[in-house]
Structure 1
């Protein structure tokens, strides 16, 4: 029954189905929740489904997985909705930071390979708190 109500999204550029999406009643059934609960979670920003031009909600498989995770945190772990929202936000931030770290490590490795391929050495330069004031020598320009 749930299978008949799903609708694949269409790629605007090629007209090909790109991902399965579900209307709210199917997403509610797949996640084991009531449709009104999904509307509440959308309103609170816990899960934000895509919208049709008419405003209808369309839930992806990732959205359904997030709904199941929210249900587990709420029912099995006893976390309230504010706590769940914080967990989701921190998880997303953590994933973003992991991506940045991976990118920086790749850049660092590229720099190391590039510098060593030209025979250059990486030398540690100690930090200094000394301040050096440079002023141009007025006598040099007048000679």
Structure 2
């Protein structure tokens, strides 16, 4: 009788807390107390189980490795690490905002092109005469009058529903 082995693969979201502190510390090659200290400083925020156990995600472990790289390889202190992480967060927010603005710009440009095309279609069937052919339709120009002294002009403004002044 041959035993058949089955293999089950589980895919877990990279931000889901799956590692207890001892496993996360081992994966990040740190002491568990270091993880607790980083949490107190706000450098990392592990999820919590219903009973309050810290649960670290793959993203958390990668962040811990980055922190270790900045402190060990680049010589940053934790205040420097905090500053770098905060700047990266701000840069990420700015990139998302720029992406959203670029998408909106593309939408508006497409809308403008559509509206311009609609106006062009309307004008093709209309009775507009190209400007170069209007000279025969208009009376001869009169010489310009003497310019009046400049003074502000009053333009009557009418609000919706208001009758014109007489």
TM-score when normalising by structure 1: 0.72
Q: CA RMSD in A?
A: 2.6
**Tell me, which stretches of 5 or more residues in structure 1 are unaligned?**
1-7, 9-15, 121-131
Larger Rg: 2
TM-score when normalising by structure 2: 0.63
Query: 1:112 aligned to 109, 112, 124, which one?
Result: 109
1:41 and 1:20 map into 2 onto residues whose CA distance is 16
Partner of 1:65: 62
Matched, 1:31 2:33: no
Matched, 1:100 2:129: no
Greater fraction strand? 1
Aligned length: 116
Query: What is the deviation of 1:17?
Result: 6.0
**Tell me, which stretches of 5 or more residues in structure 2 are unaligned?**
1-9, 118-151, 158-162
Higher-RCO chain (CA-CA 8 Å, sequence separation at least 6): 2
Greater fraction helix? 1
1:25 and 1:88 map into 2 onto residues whose CA distance is 24
User: 1:15-30 to 2 correspondence within 5 Å?
Assistant: 18=13, 19=16, 21-30=18-27
Report Cα offsets for 1:52-71 as digits up to 9, x if no partner.
12221100000000000000
User: 1:37-76 to 2 correspondence within 5 Å?
Assistant: 37-76=34-73
1:48 and 1:85 map into 2 onto residues whose CA distance is 13
2:155 and 2:74 map into 1 onto residues whose CA distance is 66
